[in-house]
Amino acid sequence: MQTRLYYYSGTGNSLWAARQLAARLDGDTELIPLRADSTLPDSPADRTGLVFPVHMWGLPRRVVEFVSGYNGRSDGYRFAVAVNAGQVAASLLQLKELLQQKGLPLQAGFGLLTPSNYILWNGAQPEAKQQELFVQAERKLDRIASIVGERKSLPVEQGPWWQNPFLSFAYRFAFPKVAAMDKEFWTETSCNGCGLCARVCPAGNIRLEAGRPVWQRRCEQCLACIQWCPQQAVQYGQKTAGKLRYHHPTVSVADMTANQPQSGN
């Protein structure tokens, strides 16, 4: 049984979830990053999974673009894991509808709660709370792997019905504006021009000019540039100074910058 797990990740939570899931699935599993510089396979797999963070209560642009160009097998099994910090909202319903437009079903979709990485609202959670969330997530990944292994069809998970219309409206309003939201990024004098922010950016949105990062208006708001900066020199407006940074504790820079498929088993 061949499985391809496509993942989009900025601070490592979705990559970690994809790795954990790959280790639990039977057969041959490939982990494939959805970076702007990734080379994607041409042929479809028996099972296809998408693992991605919820951005602005919906799908990241890179995931939308991937689905738009995706040509899967009509008899294939498709599933998704929407990694979030508390509100999966209608992101999986959105994905299901995009696939339906291509005549393809989404057989199962799951929300997965992980530590918050949206530093514009708050800094990193205490390590004890992070570990608690990882343990809970691993238990759910056990269940997800069992469901996927049996190729079960289930309703996709979603947020409370009374919240979804409002959050879906907020997503549709924000989505066209996200790419240009990088105008608020800036760097302190402690920036040493290492270029790590450009390397980890999954959207390929940063280049260095005179040793300083310049954002190119293709932002996804994953905030990887802030969270991975070793000097903590990247800031966003006045919202991030002094806040604790976060990236997944078991994910490395090399993991984040990989742009080719990797074996998961």
Phi/psi of residue 2, nearest 5 degrees: -95, 130
SS3 121: coil
pLDDT number for residue 153: 98
Residues of the chain with pLDDT > 90, as a percent, come to 89
State the amino acid at position 113 in one-letter form. L
Per the DSSP assignment, residues forming a β-bridge with 113 are 84
Kindly report, residue by residue over 64-97, the tens digit of the pLDDT: 999 999 988 889 999 999 999 999 999 999 999 9
Q: In the chain, where are the structural domains located? A: 2-163
State the amino acid at position 153 in one-letter form. S
pTM above 0.85, yes or no: yes
Please determine, for residue 242, whether its predicted confidence score (pLDDT) is greater than 80. yes
Please determine, for residue 6, whether its predicted confidence score (pLDDT) is greater than 70. yes
Q: What is each CA distance from 85 to 30, 53, 90, 227, 236, in whole angstroms? A: 26, 9, 14, 16, 20
Q: What is each CA distance from 184 to 57, 75, 80, 151, in whole angstroms? A: 21, 45, 32, 44
- For residue 50, which of 90, 78, 13 has the smallest C-alpha distance? 78
Domain 2-163: top CATH class: alpha beta
pLDDT number for residue 264: 61
Per the DSSP assignment, residues forming a β-bridge with 79 are 49, 108
Q: What is each CA distance from 206 to 11, 65, 200, in whole angstroms? A: 16, 19, 9
